[in-house]
Amino acid sequence: MSLYQQFAGVEAGRLGATIKGSLWLFPAIESVHLLALSVLGGALLMLDLRLLGAGLTLQPVSAVEKSARPWLLAALATMIVSGVLIAVSEAIKLYDKGAFWVKMTALAGALLFTFAVKNPLARRDISGIGARALGATSILLWLTVAIAGRWIGFS
Amino acid sequence: MDPVSSFIGWLAATPWSIALHESLYAYTVIEAAHVLAITLFVGTIAMVDLRLLGFAWREVPVSQMSARILPWTVAGFVVMFATGVLLFYAIPIRTWHSLWFRAKLVLLVVAALNIFLFHRRVERDRARWDAAPVPPLAARIAAAISLIVWFAVIVTGRMIAYNWFDCDKPQSALVQALAGCSSYPNDTF
C-alpha cells in the first residue's frame, strides 16, 4: 500500500471521521495545540535564553535545564497528541503539502538536537561560545518547525 | 449609525486596509508573526505564573523571575499588539462584529486589571516572600487568573477565524445583540 493510500485510510478511519464530522472537535484540538505551543515556547526559551547569556543568568545552566524539563516534556506530549489528532483528520490534505513535510523533518531534527545534544550539554553546564551556539541553533530549529506548521494552513 | 461603527466603516474603506486585506503575503506574514509571538509572550508569562503558583522555578526568587523574564514578555507583547492591530486593520468590520473578538477584548481588560492589582497590592510585600518556594495565596490567585485569562485570550483569538456567530448568518437575538449586528452593514462581505 502506498503512503498516500495509508494517509487516506487514516483519514477515513474512525478517529479521523469523528473529528471531521464534528463541528467543534477540530477547533477544540487546535486550541489545545496552541495552548501547548505557548508552554512549549516558554520552556524552550528559558533554557535557550540562558544559553545565550540572557534570562535567568544568576542560575546555573544545569539548574535551568532541570527546572524547565518537566514543562518541556508535558508541553511536547500535548503538542504531539493534539498534532496527531489534527493530522489524522486531514491526512489527505497534509500528504500534498510541502509545509507539512518540512515541519515533520524539522521536528525530527529539533527533537534530536534537543534531547541528544542541547539538554545533555546543558546538564554539564556548558558555557561560552558553545552555549550560545546551542541556544541559537535551538531557537532556529524550533522556529522552523513553528513557521512550517503555520504555513500548512496557508500553502 | 453609532460613532464606533462609523469609525470602523471608515477604517475599512482606507486604502491601506484594503491593500492589506487583499495582499498576497503581507497579511499571512503578519498573522504568522502574531501566532508565533505567543511563544515569547504567553510562554514567558506562563513561566512567571508557574513560579508564583509554586509549580516551577521554586529555587529562583520571584524578583529574579520578574527582572530577568518579564522584559521578554514585554517584547512579546509589543509584537502581539502591533501585529494584532494590523490584523484588525486589515478586516475591521467583520472583526469588530465578531463575538470571539469582543470576548477577547473583555478578557484583555480583565488581564490588564489583574496585572494592575498584582503590582499595586499583591507584590507590595514581595520582600517577605521573594524566596519562598510557594508564594502567598493572593499571589497564587493572581497567577492562576493570569494563566487562565491568557489561555482564554489564545482560544478566543483562534476562534475569530470561525464564522459560527457572524452577523451575515441567521443568529439568535442574544448573539445579534452581543455582536452588535444591528450596525453591521449589509453590503460588506
- C-alpha grid cell, residue A50: 540562558
- Tens digit of pLDDT for each residue in A61-120? 999 999 999 999 999 999 999 999 999 999 999 999 999 999 999 999 999 999 999 999
Q: How far is A67 from chain B (nearest CA, A)?
A: 6
A37/B39 CB distance under 8 A: yes
| CB-nearest partner of B36 from A45, A46, A146 | A146
A34/B35 CB distance under 8 A: yes
Q: What percent of chain A is modeled with pLDDT above 70?
A: 99
| CB-nearest partner of A38 from B59, B154, B162 | B154
- pLDDT averages per 10-residue partition of chain B, 189 residues: 90 96 94 97 98 98 97 98 98 96 98 96 94 97 98 98 93 94 75
- Distance from C-alpha of A87 to C-alpha of B47, rounded to nearest angstrom: 29
Nearest to A67 by CA among A79, A81, A55: A55
Is the pTM value of this prediction over 0.90? yes
| CB-nearest partner of B60 from A23, A54, A56 | A56
In chain B, what are the domain boundaries? Answer: 3-183
The string over B6-32, giving b where at least 16 C-beta atoms fall within 10 Å of a residue's C-beta and e elsewhere, is eebbeebeeeebeebeeeeeebeebbb
Average pLDDT estimate for A47-66: 98
Query: What are the CA-CA distances from residue A35 to residues A102, B3, B18, B163, B184 (Å)?
Result: 22, 36, 31, 21, 32
Chain B positions touching A40 (Cβ under 8 A) are 39, 43
Q: How far is B181 from chain A (nearest CA, A)?
A: 23
By C-alpha distance, the chain B residue nearest A30 is: B158
A45/B72 CB distance under 8 A: yes
B38/A37 CB distance under 8 A: yes
A147/B36 CB distance under 8 A: yes
